[in-house]
C-alpha cells in the first residue's frame, strides 16, 4: 500500500509546480522546438522541485523503453519461483525476428538453449528484439506485463503488443504508450523502494548502466563518467517523420542522489541526429539545474 501511495504521489507531482514559467521550463521548451514534432518530458529528484515538465501526462509511443518494465516483470516472476534466472530457455525458430537481434546474429538457426539471465541482459543492454519476445513468451504475453504494471499503480504505462506484432504494423506503436510522469514514477520506485529484492535490483541496474543503445541521448552531454542507467526506444523513419526517439533513465549526481528523467520525442520532422541532440540537451539542462538545487 505504501509503494502504491508513493507512486500516486509521483504521478501527480507535475501538477504541483507552476506550469511553464520557470527559466528551466522555458529553456526546455526552446530546445524541444528543434525536433519539429512533439516532445514529452518528466523528471524527479527527491526533495527538489524541478520544473522540467513538458506534456508530462501525454501518451507518446514507448517503443523499446518498455523493455525496462518488462525486465522488472520477468524478474518478479523469478522471485515468485515461476522462473529461474540461470535456467536454460529454448530459443525457438518461431522466436526469430527480422529486426535487430544480437541473439539471432549469434544463433541464426535458433533451436538452442540460452540462460534466461542472458536473454534479459540482451534485451536491456542492447535492445535485442528477439530476446524481448522470448521474455514475453515466457511470462505469458503483454497482458501479464500489463497486470504487473497495474499492480504497481502504473496503468498509465500501457503495453499490449510484442515486438513481432509491432514490427508487422508500425501504426500499432501509438497504442503502446507511457505517460512520461508514469515512467518517471517507475524509475523513482526502482531507485528508492524497488519492487525487486536487492540482488535483482542491483543486477538490473547494472545492465541498464551498461546499455549500449543510446550514447547520443541522455548520456551524451553529461560530465564524463556520470553513471546513467537507462533504456532507449526508437522507431526509425516512418511516413516521412520519426514517430519515436526516446530515452528514460536514472542519472546519479556527484552527491549520490539519483535523478529520474524521461524524454520522448514523437512525430519529429527533424532528422535522427537532431532528435538525439534534443534529448541530450534536455538531459544536460535538467542535470545542471539539479546540481544547483537545494536538497
Please give the domain boundaries of the chain with CATH numbers for all domains. Answer: 2-292 (3.40.710.10)
Catalytic residue chosen out of the listed positions 42, 64, 101, 123? 64
Sheet with 242-252: strands ordered across: 38-44, 258-268, 242-252, 228-234
Counts of helices then strands in the chain (DSSP H, E): 11, 8
pLDDT computed for residue 99 by the predictor: 87
**CA separation for the pair 261, 263 (Å, rounded):** 7
pLDDT at residue 4, rounded to an integer = 54
CA distance 210 to 7: 26
Measured between alpha carbons, how far is 263 from 42 in angstroms, rounded to an integer?
Answer: 7
Prediction pTM value? 0.92
Q: What own/partner pairs with CB < 8 Å and gap ≥ 24 does 213-218 have? A: 213/64, 213/125, 213/126, 213/127, 214/247, 216/273, 216/276, 216/277, 216/280, 217/245, 217/247, 217/263, 217/276, 217/279, 217/280, 217/283, 218/247, 218/249, 218/251, 218/261, 218/263, 218/279, 218/280, 218/283
Give the model's pLDDT for residue 16: 41
- Residue of 233, 246, 218, 212 whose CA lies nearest to 126: 212
Tens of each residue's pLDDT in the chain, 295 residues: 445 545 544 554 444 444 447 999 999 999 999 999 999 999 999 999 999 999 999 999 999 999 999 999 999 999 999 999 999 999 999 999 878 999 999 999 999 999 999 999 999 999 999 999 999 999 999 999 999 999 999 999 999 999 999 988 989 999 999 999 999 999 999 999 999 999 999 999 999 999 999 899 999 999 999 999 999 999 999 999 999 999 999 999 999 999 999 999 999 999 999 999 999 999 999 999 999 986 5
| 64 in catalytic set | yes
At residue 11, the pLDDT reads: 52
Residue 92: C-alpha distances to residues 4, 20, 86, 122 (Å): 37, 51, 18, 16
Quick one: which of 46, 51, 61, 49 has its CA closest to 21?
51
In the structure grid, which three cell numbers stand for residue 148, read together? 504487473
Amino acid at each position: 500500500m505504501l509503494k502504491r501511495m508513493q507512486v500516486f504521489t509521483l504521478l501527480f507531482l507535475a501538477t504541483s509546480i507552476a506550469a511553464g514559467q520557470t527559466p528551466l521550463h522555458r529553456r526546455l521548451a526552446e530546445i524541444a522546438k528543434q525536433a519539429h514534432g512533439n516532445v514529452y518530458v518528466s523528471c524527479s529528484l527527491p526533495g527538489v522541485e524541478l520544473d522540467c515538465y513538458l506534456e508530462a501526462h501525454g501518451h507518446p509511443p514507448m517503443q523499446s523503453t518498455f523493455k525496462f518494465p518488462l525486465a522488472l516483470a520477468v524478474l518478479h516472476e523469478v522471485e515468485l519461483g515461476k522462473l529461474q534466472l540461470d535456467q536454460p530457455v529454448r530459443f525457438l525458430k518461431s522466436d526469430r525476428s527480422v529486426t535487430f537481434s544480437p541473439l539471432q546474429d549469434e544463433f541464426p538457426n535458433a533451436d538452442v538453449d540460452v540462460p534466461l539471465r542472458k536473454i534479459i541482459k540482451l534485451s536491456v543492454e542492447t535492445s535485442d528484439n528477439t530476446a524481448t519476445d522470448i521474455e514475453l513468451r515466457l511470462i505469458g504475453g503483454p497482458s501479464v506485463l500489463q497486470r504487473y504494471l497495474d499492480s504497481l499503480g502504473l496503468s498509465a504505462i500501457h503495453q499490449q503488443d510484442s515486438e513481432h506484432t509491432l514490427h508487422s504494423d508500425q501504426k500499432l506503436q501509438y497504442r503502446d504508450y507511457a505517460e512520461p510522469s508514469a515512467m518517471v514514477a517507475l524509475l523513482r520506485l526502482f531507485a528508492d523502494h524497488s519492487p525487486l529484492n536487492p540482488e535483482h535490483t542491483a543486477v538490473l541496474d547494472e545492465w541498464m548502466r551498461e546499455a549500449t543503445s543510446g550514447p547520443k541521448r541522455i548520456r551524451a552531454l553529461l560530465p564524463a563518467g556520470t553513471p546513467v542507467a537507462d533504456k532507449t526506444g526508437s522507431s526509425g523513419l516512418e511516413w516521412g517523420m520519426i514517430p519515436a526517439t526516446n530515452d528514460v533513465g536514472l542519472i546519479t549526481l556527484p552527491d549520490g542522489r539519483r535523478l529520474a528523467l524521461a524524454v520522448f520525442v514523437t512525430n519529429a520532422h527533424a532528422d535522427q541526429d537532431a532528435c538525439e541532440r534534443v534529448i541530450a540537451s534536455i538531459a544536460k539542462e535538467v542535470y545542471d539545474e539539479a546540481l544547483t538545487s537545494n536538497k
